[in-house]
Structure 1
Amino acid sequence: MTHTLGLAEEDLRRLAGARSFERGVGYLSAVSRLEIGDQAITATVDGTDAYEVELTEDADGGLTGWCDCPYGQEGNFCKHCVAVGLTVLGQAELVPRQRSAAASRTRLLETWLDTRTREELLNLVREQLADDRHLRRRLELRAATAGEDTRIARERILSLLDTRPFARYGYVEYADAHAFGQQAAEAVTALRALTAGGRAADAVEVAREALRALGRTYGEIDDSDGLIGEVATGLAEAHLEACGAARPDPVETADWLVRHLLDELNDATDMDLFDYREVLGEPGLARARELAVAAWRANPKGWAEKFLMEGLLKADGGSVDALVAVHAADLAPNGHTHLVIAKELEAARRVAEALEWAERGLREAESERGPDDELVAFVCERYARAGRLADVVAIRRNLLRDRPSLAAYRQLRTTARVADAWEDTERAGALEVLEAAARPQKGRWYGGSVLVDALMDDADLDAAWQAAADGYADQRQWLALADRIRDRRPADALTIYLRWIEPLRERTGDSTYERMAELLLSARACHRTLGTESEFAAYLAALRTDQKRKRKLMATLDRHGL
């Protein structure tokens, strides 16, 4: 298989999964504006909308894909990425030459720029500024931070944090959050430029306003990717850097810092009083201590008050017992606070006490909300180090019983195998727990059982098929099982695909038509394995005749080569 940009057909199938890969095959004719650069491959794929796709190599040389379709924006390697990858593989012999040409164009541009005069470059920049408002805005910001008028710099920085141009309905949706995040990140750069330009005192004041401005709107932004959170962290770091350079009044800084840390608008940042200990010095720490203790005593269960006290104690070099007292004043019902205490004690080399707190967290965790996964891992790891494998298995067994899930099943399996107790002892009991946790229900669309997922995860496909036949599977699981058995039991898989195609005949809509096409592609693959392509051709012809009035469906089938 030819490799291009870390690209091979098996990579595409592995990254996308069998079903998305099959769907991607049907989009080969929808790929346009393919551009192969020296660092990335970009293209447009026409689907429900025109989607932009980019394929690149990650740090390890593996393939990564990005697409702005809804499925791709969730971080998945979607059918559009598959289509672009297959298109590139289809012309693989041309790719090295195209990438080399792209690199040559880059070098040519750099050489040309190096040979321009100052006046020519200025004229070129002015031409671009007239056509590119984004470039103009960035350079205006550079000019403002380099000038003497702080008012202009302040206005420009705060305008970068204004969400209104991106909020269609008073809320910055996921599709617009990336663009806003890119713009907001320029505010961090501008603040650091102020400090680097010898105007750190101005940067301190503007950073405070910027933090408050972003804090006011952060709850109205879909920050699923965490990009805006990174901007908030950058603003906090820029403020700390400015304080380190300007050395503002420590008492006044402590007043502002404590107010900010206790303010609910601080949710977007992870500012820590401990980081400001050098800026505050003893006078500032004394003031912060006074304010923090008063706030914690007034509200010992407040998250912000606890976090502030923790930072203060660390900055003061406070005792572990004092930290434990702060955390113990409000123990989380899932045992997470017990874990925090255990880690503090373990760091102080009070190992036995640490384990006691962690074990207490397991005992006291409410069944509906805990125990915390990290707490469980903490205890299990310490038990394993001590050779207490049976105790680790018991914990994992109890967790599966209390909250049956595929993750709990996998963890028990891993642990029991290490203890050499899986096949002969634990597996049968675990499957009994999963069987009892769900009731059989024929023909269910949703609400499948963990039992079927666990059996498929064990690669026990015959048992998974029987459990599905007994009514433990929903549509998703039936289809996943069909995909798994398709190569060795194509006839059984075919019955599943055809079963789920039939209800779609009565429905309409783009998603329904895409779903039908996907299932038909899978059914065709089964017929090819069985050597019964003529039967599929007859079935497809009859379906087309029956559904011919649905023009969009016909177009979808055509696009997928059906």
Structure 2
Amino acid sequence: MTRQAVTEELIREWSGGRAFDRGKVYFAQDRVEDLSVTESAATAVVDGSSVYDVRLDLADGRMWGECSCPQGDDGKFCKHCVATALAWMAEAGPLSVPEPPDKISDEALRTFLASQEHGWLAEELMRAATAAPMVRARLEVAAGAEAKNVLATERLRRDLALSVRIDDDETEEWLDGVKAAFAKVTDLSKAGFTGEATELAEYAIDLLAGVAEEDRFLVHQALAEAGRIHLAACSDGHPDPRALADRLVDQALATGTLFVDALPGYAGALGPDGLARYRERVEQAWRDLEPDPAGDPPPTAVLLRERLAEHEGGADGLITLAAGEPSSRQVLRIARVLAGEGKDGSALEWIRGGLARFDGEVALNDFGLDVDLRTLGAECLLRAGDQRGAVEFLWPVFIDSPSVRTYGMVAEAAGAHWPRWRERALTRLSEKLARYQTDHRFNVLVEIMLSEQDSEGAWQVARAGGVSQDLRLRAARARGATHPAEAYPVLLEAAEAAIEEKKKRQYAWAAQLLAEAQLLAGQCGHGQKFDQHMAGLRAEHKAKSALRAELNQARLP
């Protein structure tokens, strides 16, 4: 069986940059205690802000971590897991993860169950019912109990109402509570109680729609999740199709956002009768519009009509609907549908026509349209084998809107020819950014180089100035892997800046930076110099008891 080697790069990927950096310091400070390892698991105690129990397991293609800290409770591979993983690697040598084992297929399992004795099956079902409440509920309803009594749907309704209530402003904790309530509705749907799940999802959508009029990001996230639950329940349960059509159209017209993209997702649940009713309602909404239906943004009825035309007639349906002079938005949608139908040549015709027609106004009136059209055009050209044409199509996107994303798009299009284009791209970008007068004008150049793991290039740009402190710190950390003597002074400067904020949270951040700097200083033989720096820092800030506590917690001299 193929096995994947565990590396520091993989541990960083599992944990994220900040948790990895902090965990690496913890490991260097010998905070991992009572380490016990086997071939596939490790346990340890990590001395952090408190004492935390950690367990690591190698399984299913990766290393899994459990920790008693708050982040570990959320299922994250925290800094304590990182420290333990590094200690495990140091003690046991190279580690590897087996690929996930093959599982018995549903068909094979069904065949096995069909051949078993009834008594054995009954005992296994009772055991499963004890472990899984939804299995128990299904069996009780099958045995004659009323679903509403078994499922306690009224209590679930109250839970939903309480979870979506917002006093001041939504928070991540609020969204977590909403998702926890939604999970119970999902369980109902997966267990086959699709009617109850559909009703509860609609109830949640109605509640959230009442507080979503303001531009609240997390509320819209919750609405999207409720919509996914509703679609799954409707697709599996097939509610009354005409009533579903009415609800989808009514909700879309009332909110301007919900269920506007109901097709093609709900087509199966609607069926022929529901689609006929949906078409009837959409056409009526179109006829009820005021005389000028081409507003910006377009009325919801216009969007619904376009989605319906696309669903029923594909690109041809959209083209017929947009007869005359289609808007820039319609041009993009038609091109996308044509490309999706495998008609790249026709899509390119629409894209080139749109770029020519809307040149000079698309960036102003349709944010991102030029990028979207050129990106789609490049995809069509690449499928036709025209790499050079694809790069030239995307080049204005990168030059006009330089970012890691647009740079990556050009690099991907160039393929094996990228080294020749790369030097030209970075030179043009450097020249353009040098003309800016902003303090952080070279940020995007450093971000691009870091995304390519060009730590040398990122460091040379960052040390010359014109970048934010955060990016200079990121470049220094990358540089520290090979040149710790050059990197650790930057961490010292960042720590000093954090201390000047005179806030407890910033003191903790400063202590973390100083701990990282201590590790780098030791690697380049500057340990004594670092100790002298810390003595001076403690003397200068001796009145700051909160800072002293953080420095002591970080085990700094």
Tell me the TM-score normalised to structure 1 length.
0.70
Q: 2:407 aligns with which of 402, 406, 409?
A: 409
Unaligned runs of at least 5 residues, structure 2: 96-118
Aligned counterpart for 2:347 among listed residues 333, 351, 354: 354
Give the deviation of 1:293 after TM superposition.
0.9
Instruction: State the shift of 1:469 in Å.
Output: 4.4
Pairing 1:238–2:211 present: no
Is the Cα contact below 8 Å between 1:211 and 1:236 reproduced in 2?
no
Alignment partner, residue 288 of structure 1: 278
2:537 partner amino acid = L
**Corresponding position of 1:111:** none
Q: Choose the corresponding residue for 1:551, options 528, 542, 545.
A: 545
In structure 1, the residue matched to 2:304 is 308
Give, in angstroms, the shift of residue 292 of structure 1.
0.7
Q: Quick check: 1:82 aligned with 2:82?
A: yes
Q: C-alpha distance in 2, partners of 1:561/1:450? A: 36
Deviation at 1:261, TM superposition (A): 4.0
2:471 matched residue in structure 1? 477
3-state SS of paired residue (1:508)? coil
Distance 1:277 1:306, change over 3 A: farther
CA drift at 1:92: 6.7
Tell me whether 1:502 sits opposite 2:496 in the alignment.
yes
Q: Verify the 8 A CA contact 1:497 1:523 in the aligned structure 2.
A: yes
1:380 Cα deviation from its structure 2 partner: 0.9
* 1:174 maps to amino acid: E
Q: Residues 519-544 of structure 1: CA distance to partner in whole angstroms, max 9, x if unpaired?
A: 32333234323323222222222222
Which residue is 1:379 aligned to?
Answer: 377
Q: Larger deviation: 290-299 or 252-261? A: 252-261
Q: Is 1:340 aligned with 2:336? A: no
Distance 1:137 1:273, change over 3 A: closer
SS at match of 2:369: coil
Counterparts of 1:408 and 1:434 in 2: how far apart (Å)?
16
The one of 262, 273, 285 equivalent to 2:253 is 262
Q: Secondary structure at the match of 2:395?
A: helix
Select the residue among 228, 241, 263 that pairs with 1:272: 263
- AA of the residue aligned to 1:391: G
Where do residues 33-72 of structure 1 align in structure 2 (5 Å cutoff)?
61-63=61-63
Rounded Cα–Cα distance in structure 1 between residues aligned with 2:263 and 2:39: 42
How many Å separate the matches in 1 of 2:158 and 2:321? Answer: 40
Looking at structure 2, the residues matched to 489 and 36 of structure 1 have their Cα atoms a distance apart, in angstroms, of: 33
Question: Quick one: which of 388, 394, 397 aligns to 1:396?
Answer: 394
Q: Which amino acid aligns with 1:82?
A: V
Q: Choose 260-269 or 62-71, whichever is displaced more.
A: 62-71
Per the alignment, do residues 14 and 288 of structure 1 end up closer, same or farther by CA in structure 2, a change over 3 Å counting? closer
1:417-438: per-residue Cα shift (whole Å, max 9, x none)? 64464267554333322333x3
Q: Residues 87-132 of structure 1: CA distance to partner in whole angstroms, max 9, x if unpaired? A: 6668879x9xxxxxxxxxxxxxxxxxx99x99xx99x98xx9xxxx
Picking from 358, 362, 367, the partner of 1:366 is 362
| Residue 57 to residue 258, structure 1, CA distance change in 2 (3 Å) | farther
Work out whether residues 178 and 227 of structure 1, in 8 Å CA contact, stay in contact via their aligned partners in 2. Answer: no
Partner of 1:23: 22
Q: How far apart are 1:448 and its partner, in Å?
A: 4.9
Q: What secondary structure, in the 3-state scheme, does the structure 2 residue paired with 1:267 have?
A: coil
Q: Is the 8 A contact 1:452 1:468 kept in 2?
A: yes
TM-score, structure 2 normalization: 0.70
Read off the aligned partner of 1:429 and give its amino acid letter: R
Deviation of residue 354 (structure 1)?
A: 1.6
> Counterpart amino acid of 2:234?
H
Mean alpha-carbon deviation: is it higher for 235-244 or for 453-462?
453-462
Offset at residue 560 of structure 1 (A):
2.2
Q: Deviations over 1:124-156 (max 9, x none)?
A: 98xx9xxxxxx9999899979974375985523
Number of residue pairs aligned between Structure 1 and Structure 2: 510
Shift of residue 406, structure 1, vs aligned partner: 3.1
**Is 1:430–2:429 an aligned residue pair?**
yes
2:167 equivalent to 1:169 = yes
User: Matched residues in 2 for 1:188 and 1:456: separation?
Assistant: 41
Higher relative contact order (CA 8 A, sep 6+): 1
Using a 3 Å threshold, how does the CA distance of structure 1 residues 170 and 77 change in structure 2: closer, same or farther?
A: same
Contact 1:229/1:268 (8 A) holds in 2? no
**CA displacement at 1:476 relative to structure 2:** 1.9
- The aligned counterpart of 2:105 is none
Identify if the C-alpha distance between structure 1 residues 33 and 251 changes in structure 2 by more than 3 Å, giving closer, same or farther: farther
Give the aligned residue type for 1:401: I
Residue identity opposite 1:321 in structure 2: D
Query: Which range is displaced more, 506-515 or 366-375?
Result: 366-375
What is the CA-CA distance between 1:379 and the residue it aligns to? 0.8
Identity between Structure 1 and Structure 2 (%)? 27
Deviations for 1:482-533, whole angstroms, at most 9, x for unmatched residues? 2233354443324323333333443322332233223323332343233232
State the one-letter code of the partner of 2:22.
R
How far did 1:298 drift? 3.9
1:5/1:398 CA distance change after superposition, 3 Å: closer
Q: Distance in 2 between matches of 1:77 and 1:219?
A: 37
Structure 1 CA distance for aligned equivalents of residues 39 and 284 of structure 2 = 59
Give 1:479 deviation, angstroms: 1.8
Q: Distance in 2 between matches of 1:10 and 1:149?
A: 51
Residues 160, 182 of structure 2: 8 Å contact kept: yes
Quote how far apart the aligned CAs of 1:295 are.
1.3
> What amino acid is the match of 2:319?
V
Matches within 5 A, 1:436-451: 436=435, 438-439=436-437, 441=439, 448-451=442-445
- Cα distance change of structure 1 residues 432 and 218 upon mapping to structure 2, 3 Å threshold: same
CA distance in 1, matches of 2:37, 2:224: 33
State the Cα distance separating 1:280 from its structure 2 match: 4.9
Structure 2 CA distance for partners of 1:536 and 1:372, relative to 1, 3 Å:
same
State the 1:68 CA deviation: 11
Deviation, 1:341, is 0.8
Q: Which moved more, 1:493-502 or 1:21-30?
A: 21-30
Asked if the contact 2:459/2:476 (under 8 Å) is kept, the reply is: no
Q: Distance in 2 between matches of 1:285 and 1:136?
A: 36
| C-alpha separation in 2, matches of 1:5 and 1:349 | 38
Residue 102 of structure 2 is matched in structure 1 by none
C-alpha contact (below 8 Å) 2:163/2:174 kept by paired residues: no
Alpha-carbon distance between aligned partners in 2 of 1:70 and 1:269, rounded to the nearest angstrom? 39
Q: C-alpha deviations, 1:56-89, integer Å up to 9, x for none?
A: 7685x12366889999999985534424545666
Q: Does 1:323 align with 2:348?
A: no
Instruction: Provide the C-alpha distance between the structure 1 equivalents of 2:73 and 2:299, rounded to a whole number of angstroms.
Output: 32
**Aligned residue type for 1:309:** R
SS at match of 1:543: helix
C-alpha distance in structure 2 between counterparts of 1:374 and 1:489, whole Å: 41
